[in-house]
Amino acid sequence: MASITLACSSCGKLNRIDVAKAAQRPKCAECSSSFALDRPVTIEERRFDTTVLNAEVPVLVDFYADWCAPCRAMAPILDEIAQQRVGELLVVKVETDRAPAISQRYGIRSIPFFGRFENGASVKTAVGAVGRDGLTDLAG
């Protein structure tokens, strides 16, 4: 069983989720809110290691900011990838303005910045509005 650990957006409880059941909208063990894994999941800086580095599936991370026009332009493509790859790839969004330590750790100086993580390590990155082909390539 490949799994990921996500904090519930409603109550904050950490949940271990079997990715094979991701399309069935698993529920929080604490409050029964659903996890929508067929779209990008926004995570807080303090949950980055738990969610991204400990995931047992590849993770595509979008480092973005709400004010960034190229970031907003790439969002629909990320949505499509998350929907098409649910259960085999986790798509995560990290707001760089609220995650300065993560931005510093990975040397992020320009956004959008995309990273593919596998087995706790960054294995591939792309910077800028790389379009559908660029994100599809990065997602693997």
Residue in 8, 11, 28, 71 annotated catalytic: 71
Beta strand 90-95 with 59-64 is: parallel
Residue in 8, 11, 31, 68 annotated catalytic: 68
Rg, the chain, Cα only: 14
Structure tokens, 66 = 């709400």
71 is catalytic: yes
CA distance 79 to 60: 12
Helical H segments across 12-118, by residue range: 48, 69-84, 100-105
CA distance 36 to 82: 10
Beta bridge partners of 92: 41, 61
31 is catalytic: no
By CB neighbour count within 10 A (0-12 exposed, 13-18 middle, 19+ buried), where does 21 fall? middle
- Catalytic residue list: 68, 71
